[in-house]
Structure 1
Amino acid sequence: MICCLNPDCPNPLNPKGKKSCQTCSTSLVPLLRNRFRVIRVLSDEGGFGRTYLSEDTDKLNELCVIKQLAPKFQGTWSQKKAMELFAEEAKRLQELGEHPQIPTLIAYFEQDNCLYLVQQFINGQNLLKELQQRKVYKANEIQAILLDLVPVLKFIHDRGVIHRDIKPENLIRCRYDGRLSLIDFGSSKQLTEKVKNKSGTSIGSHGYSPLEQIRDGKAYPASDLFSLGATCFHLLTGTSPFQLWMEHGYGWVNNWRQYLRSPLTPELDGVMNKLLQKDLKQRYQSADEVIKDLIPKPQLALPAAGQSSGKFPVTRSSTFSFRYALLKSLVLASAFILLFGFSEVWYQQYRQIQATLLSRLKPLNYSSSQGEVAFNHSPNTGVRNISLANTFKSSAKSVMSVAISPDGRKIASIAEGDRIIKVWNLATGKEILTIRGHSQKINAVAISPNSKTLVSGSDDQTIKVWNLATGKIVRTLQGHSDSIQALGISPNGKILVSGSDDNTLKVWNLSTGRLIRTLKGHKYWVRSVAISPDGRNLASGSFDKTIKLWHLNQENPARTLKGNNNTVTSVAFSPDNTTLASTSRDRTIKLWDVASGEVIRTLAGHTNTVTYVAFSPDGITLASTSRDRTIKLWNLATGEAIHTLTGHQNNVTSVAFTTDGKTIISGSEDNTIKIWRISN
């Protein structure tokens, strides 16, 4: 189909090959600026143009959003103002688009007497639509929304920009990682001393915008904070601030609590009350003040960020692992001597010495359970050769997760929005099973160590256990009150752990389906879990930006790791149990020392959200996937990226090694599973 760019056309979609619109006879434009293919209308802009979903042919048809400015009344004040705001929006996106939660500017140009602004497409839905579907938000979800968005406001305010139109429609939750993005900078304004001291044009949305903005046309950081508070009020209560404003003006903010469905915690109540102050001077003046009140005060019983409240048990599983961990411990001990005995200069020298020693450590050959050597090289050379061996075309939908059977014979995959699991023969690439049984989309799959059992978790709040050979259901586990998003099976195959959007983890007896215990501690959705290879410890990553370490036989978390600035997207233990890798929307990978809870190293190199991470069986190499469409392989001893695999045409969502370490399997939103072979 080709879309007509006449903003008044009632039926703009036309069959390919047409030269003029079959509805309004306007000449059709196959490619705007010889680059952008307009697919369909997203929204009308009230007589000033339209917003379109489009494809960027210069970027392998990547989706983008095109805003069109085509005012009807030429030469009027309204046209001049609209053009001024349009140009300002492009300028703001160019300045602010470096932030991962603000769309990036792709292009800004004029064509056929219209202005066009092209920006990044955020694949998700806005919070107003989400509210209409969900009907209710819990207090902890509102706190998580605030924690996600206030740093974005701090970012724009620190650069002198006031958004001036924060409301549920302008906040989009990405469907893949739950990240909230702030869109529509068409009303934003640069805050200067001149602006501070003069009245301006009244811009904003009634009910969400504060008094000083509507009445006087003035806006400050505190103005955006009021709008954020009004947005959260709407989500909490289901009551539109616009309707309240129509009936009561700004009187509603004095008794906003009467609309609550249930009382808030004292901390959140205080934050909301200060956000919704009618008087500018009584309101929060900066995002920093909000963040300070949002973050819970540290408790004496809990460890500080990145620190340990006690020794965390770690089992080392191989000769190589022991040697590696021993050297690491010796070097760490030396570091403490240097730190306490000398200065930061010595510490920096220690870090260099540590990297050199680790890079020179020669590992023993690692043997799999079948006696095959996975790698036979020093860690400073890394994986020598990788080739693409096969590509499986999954379906017309994005591959969201893959799991490999430990015997190396089968792959299980799930696709975006699907209620089915596909099982593939790894050797032939043939689909051998299609498993059905869930009533809503499946989010996670895992295969038992004996390769006989498949487990799946779904939005239908159930976990299903399947016979992998036949695809027949064995049992259904029920107990979570929200979607199941992550699964892990212990090395002995007896324990199953599930992570859910109900903020909990549950530990199950996989053989009987009996619930053993529920683990509580996260303040928001749990989206990743990993069980250590020794079967003793558990790690979980959450949208609350923390990682929690648990003893598998205890209910309370042993430690909380707080080094991430953004949502934790995946976690994985090293084969020797000593290191935890975590990935985040901040585009980095962190390596943590499990025993101490300290960050060993931060790996940076991806240009977008890192989605998944996996260790090679010998523990020498780490694989990571990203929304930048690449897979990176890292030398863990040096922290260097030794290979970048670029075969996928869309975001890469998952990666796994076979147990012999000779094959990597990756899944992507390009609807494919790729098989990569490793050779020395």
Structure 2
Amino acid sequence: MLIDTILRKRYKIVEQLASGGFGDTYLAQDLDLPSKPKCVVKHLRPKNFKPEVLAIARRLFESEAEVLYRLSKFSNQIPKLFAHFEENGEFYLVQEFVDGHDLAAEIIPGYRWSEGKVVQLLQQILEVLSVVHQQNIIHRDLKPQNLMRRLEDGKIVLIDFGAVKEIKGLAANSQGQVISTIAIGSNGYMPNEQASSRPKLCSDIYAVGVIAIQTLTGKLPKDFQEDPSNGEIIWRNEVNVSNKLADVITKMVRYNFSQRYQTANEALQALSSISPALSKSTTSSWKLPSRRKVLVATGVGAGILVMLVSAFFILLRTKTTENFTQLPCDRDLSLLSLPPLPDQPDKKFENGINFYGSFDQNNKLSGKGILLFKDGSRYDGEFKNDKRNGCGRFSFPIQTSSHQYYIGQYVNDQRNGLGRLRWKNGDEYRGNFKNGKCNGYGVFQFVNGSFKSGVWEKGYLLKDKNISCN
């Protein structure tokens, strides 16, 4: 679909967000509303346009659209469905735009999460999944890419319910029967009964358990080991966690579905028994603590008040920096000290940039390397498809920039993911980035030891627009 296409004289396509085997996803504007708010358009195309296939696709589309309409009424952590329609045998969903990042930006291969952080993530996912299961609905495609961390409040939002994708796999066999030619789900996160087209509510629980093992081991599901005798995932010997948490996760990923927790609420109750303190709201690490916590002490004597406020700020600092004491790319210590440049570059660009490193079979920048720019700035890190992708360090020009360096994740030449940005005066931001800007939860620490933390958007702290990390 072309950019600037207007669907139904209302939804203007702005850019393509994703393209896959099931269809394309676009960012659009709703021209009917005064502010022209953003929305997401999903374009679903059956691969077979026979009348009998289209009839089944149409019925499935209507049924699943009704499910999405219904679910969003029960939770604001499920995107609202604004419209659904068919044009020329192709199907469209118009949904609420969720500003944030998916959990693939947080769950980094090779980086292990702490037990407490994993418990919090599990609870956040299961809380919203329990709303879905209470409606007797199976998500069918839970994975980090379909779990969004909303920028506004740090809550988990479920996207891309798998059932709608079945439209793409409809086909007619030699007897004229309409069948689904694909198993809905993603390899590694899909249990055996779902791969056999018999998904159950507890199939979602399996996927959540796999995500937990992924965060604890730092491994991708494809790298998990399985016991050949019973199909169980082998993982407990690789991590150092309490037996209580290990037992809960093990039950979540049992090969035999009857041995798992049957619903998200069952798993949530088991998780709450590990630590009652964690059974309360778990989004606190993504939000600035309420001022009310300080004001509670208003009636206390002055000396006690000072002690309470001091203790509060010590606790606050501990909480806000906990998730970022070691960022994923910090593990590569070679990024912390710059190696000397080789005598000759491996490639010279017309704009004066020199590249030192390796290439793939298509002669594109790949693997680890160095870029030296004309202004004296320098990038040391990982490349893929001719662009900076992976972990890297960018050193800013000495004479013309107030920044010293950035160490963190890159996607398509932009700072995207987790990283740290340091200024020459010693100030430092640690947290999430999007398209080169501080975006998401982060901590800005000043050289004098004070700090500001919370949710950032396009380089500015949402609760204090005077604070910028640009």
Tell me if structure 2 keeps the 8 A contact 1:207–1:243: no
Letter paired with 2:298: V
What is the aligned counterpart of 1:213 among 194, 217, 227? 194
What is the aligned counterpart of 1:314 among 279, 284, 298? 298
State the match for 1:142 in structure 2.
Answer: 118
State the match for 1:282 in structure 2.
Answer: 259
Relative to structure 1, the CA distance from residue 116 to residue 266 in structure 2 (aligned partners, 3 Å threshold; closer, same or farther) is same
Tell me if structure 1 keeps the 8 A contact 2:419–2:432: yes
What is the aligned counterpart of 1:653 among 458, 462, 465? 462
What is the aligned counterpart of 1:230 among 186, 205, 210? 210
Tell me if structure 2 keeps the 8 A contact 1:92–1:185: no
Matches within 5 A, 1:265-664: 265-295=242-272, 313-315=297-299, 436-437=402-403, 439-440=405-406, 460=420, 473=425, 483=431, 653-654=462-463
SS at match of 2:67: helix
Output one character per residue of 1:112-145: Cα deviation in whole Å (capped at 9) or x when no partner: 4422110112223322344348844333222111
Relative to structure 1, the CA distance from residue 30 to residue 220 in structure 2 (aligned partners, 3 Å threshold; closer, same or farther) is closer
State the match for 1:340 in structure 2.
Answer: none
Letter paired with 1:314: T
Gaps of 5+ in 2: 166-179, 282-295, 302-399, 408-417, 434-440
State the match for 1:57 in structure 2.
Answer: 31
Gaps of 5+ in 1: 6-11, 14-28, 190-199, 307-311, 318-433, 442-457, 465-471, 486-499, 516-525, 529-568, 570-610, 612-626, 628-650, 656-665, 670-680
Relative to structure 1, the CA distance from residue 267 to residue 439 in structure 2 (aligned partners, 3 Å threshold; closer, same or farther) is farther
Output one character per residue of 1:129-165: Cα deviation in whole Å (capped at 9) or x when no partner: 4434884433322211111110111101111211122
Output one character per residue of 1:351-401: Cα deviation in whole Å (capped at 9) or x when no partner: xxxxxxxxxxxxxxxxxxxxxxxxxxxxxxxxxxxxxxxxxxxxxxxxxxx
Which whole-Å CA distance do the structure 2 matches of 1:70 and 1:33 have between them?
A: 17
State the match for 1:41 in structure 2.
Answer: 16
Tell me if structure 1 keeps the 8 A contact 2:109–2:218: no
Letter paired with 2:463: S
Tell me if structure 2 keeps the 8 A contact 1:66–1:117: yes
Letter paired with 1:263: N
SS at match of 1:162: coil
Tell me if structure 2 keeps the 8 A contact 1:128–1:169: yes
Deviation, 1:76, is: 6.9
Letter paired with 1:93: L
State the match for 1:114 in structure 2.
Answer: 90
State the match for 2:384 in structure 1.
Answer: none
Tell me if structure 1 keeps the 8 A contact 2:112–2:218: yes
Letter paired with 2:116: N
Output one character per residue of 1:309-355: Cα deviation in whole Å (capped at 9) or x when no partner: xxx753479xxxxxxxxxxxxxxxxxxxxxxxxxxxxxxxxxxxxxx
Letter paired with 1:236: L
State the match for 2:375 in structure 1.
Answer: none
State the match for 1:92 in structure 2.
Answer: 67
Deviation, 1:107, is: 0.9
- Residue 153 (structure 1) aligned with residue 153 (structure 2): no
Which whole-Å CA distance do the structure 1 matches of 2:229 and 2:56 have between them?
A: 28
What is the aligned counterpart of 2:155 among 157, 179, 190? 179
Tell me if structure 2 keeps the 8 A contact 1:147–1:291: yes
Relative to structure 1, the CA distance from residue 440 to residue 157 in structure 2 (aligned partners, 3 Å threshold; closer, same or farther) is same
Output one character per residue of 1:642-671: Cα deviation in whole Å (capped at 9) or x when no partner: xxxxxxxxx99336xxxxxxxxxx7899xx
SS at match of 1:314: helix
Tell me if structure 2 keeps the 8 A contact 1:244–1:252: no
Fraction of identical pairs, as percent: 29
SS at match of 2:7: coil
What is the aligned counterpart of 1:253 among 232, 240, 248? 232
Tell me if structure 2 keeps the 8 A contact 1:85–1:186: no
Could you state the TM-score of these two structures normalised by the residue count of structure 1? 0.40
Which whole-Å CA distance do the structure 1 matches of 2:213 and 2:146 have between them?
A: 15
SS at match of 2:27: strand
Which whole-Å CA distance do the structure 2 matches of 1:252 and 1:130 have between them?
A: 28
Tell me if structure 2 keeps the 8 A contact 1:157–1:221: yes
Could you state the TM-score of these two structures normalised by the residue count of structure 2? 0.56
Tell me if structure 2 keeps the 8 A contact 1:164–1:188: no
Relative to structure 1, the CA distance from residue 274 to residue 43 in structure 2 (aligned partners, 3 Å threshold; closer, same or farther) is same
Which whole-Å CA distance do the structure 1 matches of 2:467 and 2:16 have between them?
A: 27
Deviation, 1:271, is: 1.4
What is the aligned counterpart of 1:264 among 241, 248, 266? 241
Letter paired with 1:57: L
SS at match of 2:163: coil
SS at match of 1:208: coil
Relative to structure 1, the CA distance from residue 298 to residue 177 in structure 2 (aligned partners, 3 Å threshold; closer, same or farther) is closer
Deviation, 1:171, is: 1.2
Deviation, 1:78, is: 5.9
Output one character per residue of 1:279-327: Cα deviation in whole Å (capped at 9) or x when no partner: 222211222322222225678xx9x989xxxxx753479xxxxxxxxxx
Deviation, 1:232, is: 2.1
Which whole-Å CA distance do the structure 2 matches of 1:305 and 1:109 have between them?
A: 40
Tell me if structure 1 keeps the 8 A contact 2:254–2:260: yes
State the match for 2:330 in structure 1.
Answer: none
Which whole-Å CA distance do the structure 2 matches of 1:438 and 1:143 have between them?
A: 36
